[in-house]
Structure 1
Amino acid sequence: MHINVRGTRKIISNVSSFTPRYEFPKYSMPLTDFKGHQVKALKTFEKLLPQMNMIIELRDIRAPLSTRNVVFDRIARKEHDVMKLVVYTRKDLMPGNKPYIGKLKNWHEELGEKFILLDCRNKTDVRNLLKILEWQNYELETNGGYLPMGYRALITGMPNVGKSTLINSLRTIFHNQGNMGRKFKKVAKTGAEAGVTRATSEVIRVTSRNTESRNEIYLIDTPGIGVPGRVSDHNRMLGLALCGSVKNNLVDPIFQADYLLYLMNLQNLNDGRTELYPGSTNSPTNDIYDVLRRLQVNKSQNEKSTAIEWTNKWRLHGKGIIFDPEVLLNNDEFSYKNYVNDQLEKLGDLSYEGLSNKLKGNPNQVF
């Protein structure tokens, strides 16, 4: 999908002679990282869903469209009557942007969705999510819903959006409540690269029975699931790459760096105070190779390694940059509800038959 964000010109750079790009080129790249083990996980999801009381889908706050997975919408069909909560992670990397949060609120109200923002490593944020789980469990039990298997929530999302980190944080809070002084081991494997969790884990308890509730609360960690190629496009793939939700070597680092530059120039977050890249305040440019030359510490550093270092820095620590350009558009220029409906139409009905064999060794597979 080609996005023209010319309508955002009023917020562009304070350097009057500079004009940012309003469209990004369609580089040749894979449009999906959907793999065989993810197909197996989706089959497991559908089997587990009737046992679930809640689906918690994690998305990266910097890329609300790229990290939204329409496959989960298709699986969690209305007949299952399962509550869904969207959790935007890495809120520490998007501080103080009230207009953006307001836009997210409007988007989710259109679809009747509930969402919260949190930092998966922040104890206060994680406790707030735990309170939501406890309250939903309490309401269910108040209405006569004793659950012999406990209250169960499925943790889903794209690769590397913080699922396992969140589960470990919730488990740590539970562990510290009744096991002071004992060494705690992580229950969910974490890592900085996509694809660390590759199988649906066993149930993980995060609360016990107490005087207020007979239901224990359990979480199920799941592998990150990408989207099929037919519902992806260049913007979505580049957004996922900048979030770290696809393998590092899948999208050329120069393409990633160029996309980051494109987004930076559009959003103009420096306001003349902080440089987003060397010279961004006084001499902004649309030339990624010019930026990479400015970033090079020494002559032995090549363009590709410089691009990797720069994008990794922003992926892990960069604050304030939105990775989906559609977010910059006005409501009359972009409809979130229409976008989601279009994604569902493109996805159609899921078919798993023989898909694993077709996917093997082919990251460009579209199904």
Structure 2
Amino acid sequence: MHINVRGTRRIISNVSSFTPRYEFPKYSMPLTDFKGHQVKALKTFEKLLPQMNMIIELRDIRAPLSTRNVVFDRIARKEHDVMKLVVYTRKDLMPGNKPYIGKLKNWHEELGEKFILLDCRNKTDVRNLLKILEWQNYELETNGGYLPMGYRALITGMPNVGKSTLINSLRTIFHNQGNMGRKFKKVAKTGAEAGVTRATSEVIRVTSRNTESRNEIYLIDTPGIGVPGRVSDHNRMLGLALCGSVKNNLVDPIFQADYLLYLMNLQNLNDGRTELYPGSTNSPTNDIYDVLRRLQVNKSQNEKSTAIEWTNKWRLHGKGIIFDPEVLLNNDEFSYKNYVNDQLEKLGDLSYEGLSNKLKGNPNQVF
């Protein structure tokens, strides 16, 4: 997708002589990190869906488009009775941006979707999600629904958006509520790199048998699933790289750092007290190599290692930067509903055999 953000009113530089880039160059890079085990997971996902009462799709709040997986939409549309809840993770990295949250609200209202924001490590946030699950379970029971297999929610999302962390947090709350004295063990592996969970996990109970509800609540963790290259583009791949949702070595770290610089200059989040990068207050620049030179603390550091260190810092701790430039556009310049429909059209009908055959030929193939 070609993005020109020249028209957005957010672009107002503190330095009158400085003009940010309104377009980002198309560097040569893979457009997908779609793997063979993800095709297998999709098949399992589709088989499990008729047994589910809810789909919980996790997305990174900093990249609502890049971490949105159209493949889940295609599969979920076959099961109209399954409720879908979008959970935006890493809320702590996007504090106090009411206009942005308002835009998300408008986007999801267009599609009739429900969404919440949370920090997967915040007990209050995680308890709020558990309350939603309990309420949906209660409503089902009130309407006479008894589920012999319990109330089941499938946790889905792109790689490394917080699925396993969320499940472990829910399990911790469950353990502390009514299972004191028993040894607690994490049931889902977590990691800073994409692809930690590679197989659909066992069913995980997150409510106690001591509750008044007849239906216990269970979660099913799934591996992070990417998208085929035909529904991806350079912006999506770079956004996923900045979120840590693709392997570290897939996108050149200089490209990632340059994209981060591009986004920083566009959003102009500098408050006059904190620098986004050295010199961003008094001498902003569009030259990534200039920024990397400013960041180097000693001459032994090379540009690539400096770029990795800088992007990793922002990936893990940086606050306030949106990784999808379309979010900066006005409503008359970008339609979320049209974007979703366009993605579905590009995806077409899912053919697992076709996906598998192409992956066998070349695991890095763009298709």
SS at the partner of 1:164? helix
Superposed CA offset, 1:20-63 (max 9, x none): 00000000000000000000000001100000000000000000
Deviation at 1:357, TM superposition (A): 4.0
1:61/1:91 contact within 8 Å kept: yes
1:15 & 1:363 partners in 2: Cα distance?
46
1:106 & 1:155 partners in 2: Cα distance?
24
1:11/1:267 contact within 8 Å kept: yes
SS at the partner of 2:226? coil
Deviation at 1:274, TM superposition (A): 1.0
Superposed CA offset, 1:331-352 (max 9, x none): 0000000000000000000001
SS at the partner of 1:11? coil
SS at the partner of 2:10? helix
Deviation at 1:363, TM superposition (A): 4.3
Deviation at 1:110, TM superposition (A): 0.2
SS at the partner of 1:10? coil
1:10 & 1:129 partners in 2: Cα distance?
33
CA 132–69 in structure 1, closer or farther in 2 if over 3 Å, else same: same
1:50/1:80 contact within 8 Å kept: no
1:8/1:266 contact within 8 Å kept: no
Deviation at 1:211, TM superposition (A): 5.0
Deviation at 1:309, TM superposition (A): 0.1
Partner of 1:288: 288
1:65 & 1:354 partners in 2: Cα distance?
25
2:49 & 2:85 partners in 1: Cα distance?
15
1:12/1:265 contact within 8 Å kept: no
2:66 & 2:228 partners in 1: Cα distance?
13
1:44 & 1:79 partners in 2: Cα distance?
15
2:211 & 2:9 partners in 1: Cα distance?
58
CA 346–245 in structure 1, closer or farther in 2 if over 3 Å, else same: same
Deviation at 1:366, TM superposition (A): 4.1
1:36/1:359 contact within 8 Å kept: yes
1:56/1:86 contact within 8 Å kept: yes
Deviation at 1:80, TM superposition (A): 3.8
2:50/2:79 contact within 8 Å kept: no
Deviation at 1:184, TM superposition (A): 1.2
2:49/2:79 contact within 8 Å kept: no
1:114 & 1:146 partners in 2: Cα distance?
24
CA 211–176 in structure 1, closer or farther in 2 if over 3 Å, else same: closer
Deviation at 1:79, TM superposition (A): 3.9
CA 328–10 in structure 1, closer or farther in 2 if over 3 Å, else same: closer
2:238/2:259 contact within 8 Å kept: yes
Deviation at 1:77, TM superposition (A): 1.2
1:191 & 1:53 partners in 2: Cα distance?
28
Partner of 1:121: 121
CA 177–285 in structure 1, closer or farther in 2 if over 3 Å, else same: same
CA 52–79 in structure 1, closer or farther in 2 if over 3 Å, else same: closer
Superposed CA offset, 1:282-338 (max 9, x none): 000000000000000100000000000000000000000000000000000000000
2:257/2:307 contact within 8 Å kept: yes
1:117 & 1:83 partners in 2: Cα distance?
17
1:5/1:23 contact within 8 Å kept: yes
CA 211–324 in structure 1, closer or farther in 2 if over 3 Å, else same: closer
1:217 & 1:13 partners in 2: Cα distance?
50
SS at the partner of 2:133? helix
> What is the TM-score normalised by the length of structure 1?
0.98
Deviation at 1:180, TM superposition (A): 1.7
Q: Where has structure 1 moved over 6 Å in runs of 4 or more?
A: none
Superposed CA offset, 1:158-182 (max 9, x none): 0000000000000110011112243
* Residue ranges of structure 1 left out of the alignment (5+ in a row): none
1:245 & 1:39 partners in 2: Cα distance?
17
2:48 & 2:79 partners in 1: Cα distance?
14
1:34/1:227 contact within 8 Å kept: yes
Deviation at 1:208, TM superposition (A): 2.7
Root mean square deviation of aligned Cα: 1.2
Counterparts of residues 99-114 of structure 1 (less than 5 Å) = 99-114=99-114
Q: Percent identity?
A: 100
> What is the TM-score normalised by the length of structure 2?
0.98
| More displaced 10-residue stretch of structure 1: 177-186 or 79-88 | 177-186
Deviation at 1:81, TM superposition (A): 1.3
SS at the partner of 1:79? coil
1:197/1:222 contact within 8 Å kept: yes
Superposed CA offset, 1:80-124 (max 9, x none): 410000000000000000000000000000000000000000000
Does the alignment pair 1:188 with 2:182? Answer: no
